[in-house]
């Protein structure tokens, strides 16, 4: 099992990366201004601002599923620019209602909501729509309830749960939920299957102190790929049997040395 290593940029490296890629931002903004759904209706300054936000997000998070940085920026400003423009046309009360309806339809829209409009109610609505919207919830609003709702909707949201709130129950709940975003860009680059579910598994975000034999025995009842994530020294015949009893396809993750015994034990 290999882990994707995300580079940690120094401030100087980060600055150079932003400067080097700003021409891509301008190129996309100009193209969207001429050809986009809202062409000529959105100021160039708005498109440039949203494009720069996308660039910084791309650099900071190293989102490797986007093979083309211009395509990433195009996707981002296609959603963000109309949102930003619409907000500028509303009064304070209308902005609140508009943002609430937006996150109810697509929780990931929370990343476009100004920080001063992110309330507990708004963030809860967002994570109920898409659990991974938790990544854009302010730290002071990440409560136990909010985190529970997030992992209930998408197990992958465990990545964004504060360490102090990661209990055994919460982590097991996350493991038992789907871990694939409904984001159309994700769907474009991946078949939504077990391979992607495994790649987006919440297991890497479970605190090591919780990864005990007891934890794994509970996890195999909830997720067919648990055996693929068992720490060295904790794989056992009993655990493998328990896993295959609940999910026959868990057999593919059973070590070769144990497969025959497991097959005989569960009758498959």
Query: pLDDT tens digit string along 18-27?
Result: 888 888 888 8
pLDDT given at position 222: 93
pLDDT given at position 268: 73
Mean confidence (pLDDT) of the chain: 83
Between 129 and 16, the more confident residue is 129
Q: How confident is the model at residue 199 (pLDDT cuts 50, 70, 90)?
A: very low
Enter the DSSP assignment of 7.
Answer: P
pLDDT given at position 8: 56
Reply yes or no on whether the pLDDT at 65 is more than 70. Answer: no
Reply yes or no on whether the pLDDT at 156 is more than 60. Answer: yes
pLDDT given at position 177: 83
Mean pLDDT value across residues 32-37: 73
Mean pLDDT value across residues 73-96: 82
Give residue for tokens 């709702």. Answer: 149
Reply yes or no on whether the pLDDT at 55 is more than 50. Answer: yes
Phi, psi of 68, deg, nearest 5: -130, 115
Rounded distance between C-alpha atoms, residue 244 and residue 221, angstroms: 9
Reply yes or no on whether the pLDDT at 193 is more than 60. Answer: no
pLDDT given at position 209: 95
pLDDT given at position 218: 96
pTM beyond 0.75, yes or no:
no
Rounded distance between C-alpha atoms, residue 84 and residue 99, angstroms: 11
pLDDT given at position 229: 92
Nearest Cα residue to 244 out of 229, 231, 264, 262: 262
User: How is residue 31 written in tokens?
Assistant: 């193209």
Rounded distance between C-alpha atoms, residue 60 and residue 7, angstroms: 9
Other Cβ atoms within 10 Å of 6 Cβ, number: 11
Rounded distance between C-alpha atoms, residue 185 and residue 181, angstroms: 9
């Amino acid at each position: 099992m290999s882990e994707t290593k995300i580079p940690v940029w120094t401030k100087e490296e980060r600055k150079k990366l932003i400067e080097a890629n700003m021409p891509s931002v301008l190129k996309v903004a100009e193209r969207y201004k001429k050809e986009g759904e809202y062409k000529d209706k959105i100021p160039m300054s708005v498109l440039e601002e949203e494009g720069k936000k996308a660039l910084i997000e791309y650099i900071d998070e190293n989102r490797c599923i986007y093979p083309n940085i211009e395509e990433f920026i195009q996707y981002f400003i296609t959603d963000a620019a109309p949102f930003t423009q619409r907000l500028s046309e509303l009064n304070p009360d209308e902005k609140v209602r508009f943002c609430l309806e937006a996150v109810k339809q697509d929780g990931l829209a929370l990343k476009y909501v100004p920080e001063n409009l992110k309330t507990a109610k708004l963030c809860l609505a967002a994570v109920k729509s898409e659990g991974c919207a938790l990544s854009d919830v302010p730290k002071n609003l990440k409560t136990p309830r909010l985190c529970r709702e997030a992992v209930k909707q998408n197990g992958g949201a465990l990545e964004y749960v504060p360490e102090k709130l990661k209990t055994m129950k919460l982590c097991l709940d996350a493991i038992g939920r789907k871990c694939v975003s409904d984001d159309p860009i994700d769907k474009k680059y991946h078949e939504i299957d077990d391979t992607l579910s495994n790649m987006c598994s919440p297991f890497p975000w479970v605190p090591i102190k919780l990864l005990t034999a007891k934890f794994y025995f509970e996890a195999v009842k909830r997720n067919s790929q648990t055996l693929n994530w068992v720490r060295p020294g904790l794989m056992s015949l009993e655990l493998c049997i328990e896993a295959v009893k609940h999910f026959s396809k868990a057999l593919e993750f059973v070590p070769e040395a144990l497969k025959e015994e497991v097959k005989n034990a569960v009758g498959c």
